Amino acid sequence: MSLPDVSLRAAQYVRMSTERQDLSLDFQMATNAAYAMERGLTIVRTYTDAGISGLTLNKRDGLRALLADVVGGRADYATVLVYDVSRWGRFQNPDQAAHYEFICSEAGVHIAYCAEPFDNDGSPTSALIKHLKRAMAAEYSRDLSAKISRAQRILLADGYWAGGRIPLGYRPILIRRDGTPVISPRDDCWRKQQGVRTKLTLGPDSEVELVRRIFRLYLRKNGTFTTVSRRLDRDPALIESLGAWSPKRVADTLRNEVYVGRLIGGRRIKAVGETWGSPAPRDQWIVAEGAVPAIVSEQTFNAARKKRLKRAGPILRSDALLDLQRIAAEYGDVSQRMIRIHGQWSVGVYTRIFGSITAIRELMQIPIPEKYAHLAAAIQASNRARREACLTYTDEQLRDALRTALHRYGRLSEQTLNAMGTPNTCTFRRRFGSMEAAYKQVGYEPTEAQKLAMRSAHKRVAKTFR
């Protein structure tokens, strides 16, 4: 039996960004099929990326599989049919699209653009047109992104919800352009209608009261993200309906200004193709006051913010010690379980500062039970091995490192300590609370310029907790 002629076999690659796009997958495949019929080709394989952006190669499993088959020598075809240049990709760097096409041509696989008015025959004319088409595809994405961004900012300024997860305590309502309401969507997926915008209204009373309760718990004297999350997780019905409450989830709730009726957008500047971008100055944010019904008062929200900023930054050794003394006085013992239930912070915070639970119990002058004595010995041996491998440091070892740096460079700074190698400055901050506190361990007084730099660094850290 004769082998099939590979030159007459073809694969096709089809892609569309959204379900509402005019160039649907069926339309592209019909065009590719007509092109193949005219040239006597048989389509033997289809690579698909449905609902995937063409800006990057990420998440484009279809194109990645195509390139893998071509490079790996598994391609049993000689041609890949693509509807047009933009379906291959809207890469912001036109050379990236050319690079992927070059990979295929080097492996002996030809790329054919079925709906383009030129033949991809490698001539100077086709090369020039392809480069222009790639640049136009990239520019189309940039222009579309700018238009969408402007539209979203305008809608946000008018008090409409820009999208994303609906905050706890609210529900979406749909409003037409003339202001008449539409039937509210259900909690499951729903298709957005043209000319219909989304606003937020108050949700169930139980969720509204839960948000207020979170603020009340946090504003208590010993309230922290951790203690509030523990308190909420004690309610099985709450966990069943809304899921578990982590300290981060509590922090996100306390930071969300939507609870005082304020919608904020434009916090980050993101170029086309970027996933995260960079923070935008606050004066460039879009702020819509009174856009949604408030759940907590401005006074309550500002009190929570003030407490967050006051507690922002590294946890001081003295504060952790005071909390351990409180646990010992109130409950008569200090253990992982006691810290996990009654401590202001997680167990890891205390062990990073003091070394281990054994060291904490020794510090608090609490004897170690006989049944755990072997564990204490094992922990001490493990810590000794880690210290010998320079993985952990005692307080005296850290002071010696500070004295050595001071003697060598005549001053202490983050640059001089980093130049020394290990331990790094993060270790000093975790152990002593701040670099200024670490300097005081060896009697070094920072210069005014250093103090100003450290205060600026502390403010930057505090901003991340807002």
The ranges assigned to domains in the chain are 6-141, 208-311, 317-388, 395-463
Long-range contacts of the stretch 424-429 (C-beta < 8 A, 24+): 427/393, 427/398, 428/398, 428/402, 429/314
- Choose among 27, 186, 175, 178: nearest CA to 115: 27
Tens digit of pLDDT per residue, the chain (466 long)? 444 567 889 999 999 886 555 568 889 999 999 999 999 999 999 999 988 888 888 888 999 999 999 999 999 999 999 999 989 988 888 899 999 999 999 999 999 999 998 988 889 888 899 999 998 988 888 888 778 778 878 888 888 888 788 999 999 888 877 777 776 555 444 455 667 788 899 999 999 999 999 999 999 988 888 889 888 988 888 888 888 888 889 999 999 999 999 998 888 777 776 666 677 887 888 888 888 999 999 999 999 998 888 776 678 888 889 989 998 888 888 888 888 888 887 787 888 888 778 788 888 888 877 766 666 667 667 666 666 665 567 788 888 888 888 888 788 888 778 777 667 787 888 788 788 888 888 888 888 777 777 776 655 544 443 4
**What is residue 83's DSSP assignment?**
S
- Rounded to whole angstroms, the Cα distance separating 449 from 431 reads 24
Q: Would you give the distance in Å from CA 387 to the centre of its chain?
A: 34
Can you give the pLDDT at residue 193? 64
- Rounded to whole angstroms, the Cα distance separating 311 from 316 reads 10
- Rounded to whole angstroms, the Cα distance separating 196 from 181 reads 9
Q: Is residue 295 a contact partner of residue 317, using CB atoms and an 8 Å limit? A: no
CATH architecture of 6-141: 3-Layer(aba) Sandwich (3.40)
- Choose among 141, 112, 126, 120: nearest CA to 13: 112
Can you give the pLDDT at residue 314? 75
Can you give the pLDDT at residue 23? 67
Task: Tell whether pTM > 0.75.
Answer: no
Sign of the torsion angle spanned by Cα atoms 102, 103, 105, 109: negative
CATH architecture of 208-311: Alpha-Beta Complex (3.90)
Report the SS3 class of residue 199.
strand
Q: What are phi and psi of 209, to 5 degrees?
A: -65, -35
**What is residue 344's DSSP assignment?**
S
Please report, as a single letter, which amino acid is at residue 297: S
Can you give the pLDDT at residue 355? 77
Q: Is residue 140 a contact partner of residue 153, using CB atoms and an 8 Å limit? A: no
- Choose among 315, 372, 325: nearest CA to 346: 315
Q: Is 195 left (phi over 0), alpha (psi -120 to 50) or beta?
A: left
